[in-house]
Amino acid sequence: MISMAFWFGLRSSFSVFFVALLDQFHWGRAEAAGVQSLSMLAFMSTAPFIGILVDRIGPKKVVLPGIILMGIGLLLCTQIQTLTHFYIFFGLIVGVGVTSLSIAPFTVILTHWFERYRGAANGLAGMGTGIGVLCFVPFIQYLISFHGWRFAFFIFALSIFIIPFPLNAFSLSISLKIWASSQMVISPVIPKIRVPRVLRRVKTFNLTWFRKIGH
């Protein structure tokens, strides 16, 4: 839920950063809006590979590096001077890194964690999208209004390293045994079928009857 909140909170906060950057640099709206398009393109291109890597090498080795990449991208956003910087730092680096906090890896993770109540688990995780919009958009707007957009990017990056990174590191470390056990190939066990007593009597009667006929 928390990871999804940061994922969707970042997506929704772009419009707040967008206005602040346009006010300072006077870029054209169309050319600056392409950053969000590049970010979504990076997400769409990366998401399938994230899911495959989670299956092959486990979630911890995929999610944590992605969080670090996202945090570094947000830190680099504090140094934006040109539109090219905005495209590279936010559109590309953050766009790739945020995929590790999205629905792409966590649908796989929740499937392995929950044998029962998977629907409820996915529903609770999905609540994070609403929480992200509700909390991050006004918070980022407050930071920009009183401290500037560079400080807002810095606080966002800092929160990435303080909240989702340690939480995912802790939870994914605990779940390694669960993940390993779910990856094991279990040989099928053929259950013993108990024949009802009535059927056993019928079988015995038929055999006895055929033996009498034979004699």
pLDDT (tens, 9 = 90+) of the chain, 215 residues, equals 677 778 778 888 999 999 999 999 999 999 999 999 999 999 999 988 988 888 888 888 888 999 999 999 999 999 999 999 999 999 999 999 998 888 777 666 666 666 666 666 666 666 767 787 788 899 999 999 999 999 999 999 999 999 989 988 887 776 555 545 554 443 344 444 454 554 455 444 454 444 444 45
Q: What is the CA radius of gyration of the chain?
A: 28
Phi-psi region of 140 (alpha: psi -120 to 50; beta: other; left: phi over 0): alpha
What do you get for the CA distance between the two ends of the chain, in Å?
Answer: 78
Residue 19 makes CB contacts below 8 A (sequence gap 6+) with none
* pTM, to two decimals: 0.75
Query: Token pair 């560079």 is at which residue?
Result: 150
For 148, the enclosing helix (H) or strand (E) is none
Q: Which amino acid is at 59?
A: P
pLDDT given at position 199: 44
- CB atoms under 10 Å from CB of 26, counted, come to 8
With CA atoms as reference, report the closest residue to 166 among 73, 57, 61, 64.
Answer: 64
SS3 186: coil
Pair 163, 132: CB distance under 8 Å: no
Please give the domain boundaries of the chain with CATH numbers for all domains.
Answer: 2-183 (1.20.1250.20)
pLDDT given at position 3: 73
Maximal C-alpha separation, the chain: 108
pLDDT given at position 159: 94
Query: Token pair 């906090």 is at which residue?
Result: 101
Pair 95, 42: CB distance under 8 Å: yes
Pair 143, 151: CB distance under 8 Å: yes
100 DSSP 8-state letter: G
pLDDT given at position 45: 92
Going 96 to 97 to 102 to 105, the CA torsion angle's sign is: positive
